[in-house]
Amino acid sequence: MAVPKYNELYIPFLRALADGKVHTLKEIKETVADALQLTEDELSERIQSNKQTLIDNRLGWARTYLKKAGLLISEKKAHFQISEEGKHLLAEGVPITNELLAARYASFADFINYRSTPDAPTAQTPIENETETPQETLERVFQTINHQLSDDLLSEIMNQSYGFFENLVVDLMQAMGYGKGFVTRASNDNGIDGIIHEDRLGFNLIYIQAKRWDPDTVITRPEIHKFAGAMMGPPKVEKGLFITTAKFSQGAKEFADAQHIILIDGKKLTELMIEHEVGVSTQKTYSVKRIDSDYFG
């Protein structure tokens, strides 16, 4: 048989975890391959855009979507366990489709942009859309790939140390074109995790507060207030950056706006990392051509 599509791998993927134990992605692949009786030629088939095998690519997307629906648990990189909800859905014996996942799980629907608003009706599958032009499809799929990459980046950051995260923040600031930066000494940082020099001589400073907290945590106004106090020095600075893997409350955002403090949450952080190529690398470049009107003018 041919390698199944990613959404056709939902049930085989969950069945590979049906024993409730933690399994590596390699183990899951082997179990799925055996269950589907995939041949060596099928397992070695590669996608045209890069060197990744077709089965690895499709299992990767199946994993992403199942995880977004809350059917998988992954507390360690490349290690997965079926969730209680995953067990219940698998036990129902119903076909697991994108439509079903979008209807049952808001987190899945939001991830693949089934809905423009929480109350909007569901749309078509994330890959198939007969009303789009090829250009629109390309743009949407590009956004979906980056959305998945952002999710993977955030998970990878959470697997690293606090010190690594502080260095990452300084690297990102420098990649964005700011001046030389450094991480402060952990034992005597006075609430400041990093400092960026906006100019070569260090006349203008930016203080950084970096918090690698659970992505579901909501940072409230008191935390921003403490950072604003730390910015009073010495030396006193006028600009501050509070960057985190978590989220900010509306009160925190309003207070930060009044104090010249820029807030970057986990979503914005990963978007900036992708844009400025920090912690990511380009896998494939596609050039979209058009007619040169001047040449034929």
Q: What is the mean pLDDT of residues 16-35?
A: 95
User: Is 10 inside a domain boundary?
Assistant: yes
Tell which wins on pLDDT, 17 or 119.
17
Q: What is the mean pLDDT of residues 194-214?
A: 81
Q: Rounded to two decimals, what is the model's pTM?
A: 0.68
User: Is 143 inside a domain boundary?
Assistant: no
- Tell me the C-alpha distance between 236 and 240, whole Å: 11
Quickly tell me which residue has 């939902």 as its tokens.
10
User: Is 254 inside a domain boundary?
Assistant: yes
Q: What is the mean pLDDT of residues 2-14?
A: 93
Inter-residue contact 73 to 66 (CB < 8 Å): no
Do 225 and 109 lie in one domain? The reply is no
User: Is 49 inside a domain boundary?
Assistant: yes
Number of compact structural domains in the chain: 2
User: Is 287 inside a domain boundary?
Assistant: no
CATH number at residue 259: 3.40.1350.10
Domain that holds residue 174: 162-275
- Tell me the C-alpha distance between 26 and 56, whole Å: 9
Q: Is 104 left (phi over 0), alpha (psi -120 to 50) or beta?
A: alpha
Q: What is the per-residue pLDDT for 190?
A: 59
Average pLDDT of the chain, as a whole number? 84
Do 31 and 100 lie in one domain? The reply is yes
Do 124 and 41 lie in one domain? The reply is yes
| pLDDT(47) > 80 | no
Do 91 and 166 lie in one domain? The reply is no
User: Is 232 inside a domain boundary?
Assistant: yes
